[in-house]
């Protein structure tokens, strides 16, 4: 019977574990490269989905250690700052007659997401290999990356919601 160490992958798995996220990020970049209608009543959906995934992942693991908890808090904070920046970097336009808001994510905002994915893969092996030195489990280390995503998505959508509501209110005041 083949036994693997916790950080090892079966032969051939490495190719797909890198290819699938690259394809998903590529589709997201292409999708966000064009202007689209911003439906402010739906901005809550993505954060709820990401938070539900995080809750599900955390429910399968034991509670984090104090160091793991500190990493989790830092990851949410850093994610929120990055999400706010990504939200501010997005370009919004509003139709004066219909008050329809359109958004386009900036190239730097798209590169931020690509950079987070790349950083996760680079650090995943390093942190997993050094987890015992850092007094962390591999699950605690990778959970922090999930919380970083929660912070990015939640802060970005909150920033979009605030900006869109302000633009709509200003357009209605002029009308």
User: What is the average per-residue pLDDT within 83-89?
Assistant: 90
Closest C-alpha to 144, from 77, 59, 45, 44:
77
Domains of the chain: which residue ranges?
37-174
In whole angstroms, give the CA distance from residue 144 to residue 119.
Answer: 12
pLDDT tens, residue by residue, 151-168: 999 999 999 999 999 999
pLDDT tens by residue, 23-80: 776 777 777 677 889 899 999 998 999 899 888 888 888 888 888 889 899 999 999 9
Please count the residues of the chain. 175
* pLDDT above 90 as % of the chain: 26
pLDDT at position 11 over 60: no
Q: What is the pLDDT of residue 165?
A: 93
Averaged confidence pLDDT in the chain: 80
Whether 16 has a pLDDT exceeding 90, the answer reads no
pLDDT tens-digit series, residues 91-113: 899 988 888 999 887 777 777 77
The rounded distance, in Å, linking the Cα atoms of 138 and 153 is: 23
Predicted structure pTM score: 0.74
């Amino acid at each position: 019977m083949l036994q693997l160490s916790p950080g090892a992958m079966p032969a051939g798995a490495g190719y797909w574990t890198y290819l699938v996220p690259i394809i998903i990020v590529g589709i997201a970049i292409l999708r966000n490269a064009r202007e689209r209608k911003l439906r402010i009543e739906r901005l809550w959906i993505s954060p709820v989905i990401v938070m539900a995934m995080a809750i599900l992942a955390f429910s399968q693991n034991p509670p984090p250690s104090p160091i793991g908890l500190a990493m989790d808090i830092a990851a949410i904070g850093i994610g929120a700052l990055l999400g706010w920046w990504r939200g501010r970097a997005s370009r919004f336009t509003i139709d004066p007659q219909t008050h329809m808001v359109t958004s386009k994510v900036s190239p730097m905002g798209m590169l931020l997401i690509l950079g987070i994915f790349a950083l996760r893969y680079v650090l995943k092996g390093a942190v997993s290999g050094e987890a015992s030195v850092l007094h962390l489990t591999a699950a605690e280390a990778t959970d922090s990356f999930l919380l970083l995503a929660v912070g990015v998505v939640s802060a970005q959508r909150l920033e979009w919601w605030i900006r869109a509501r302000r633009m709509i209110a200003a357009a209605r005041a002029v009308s």
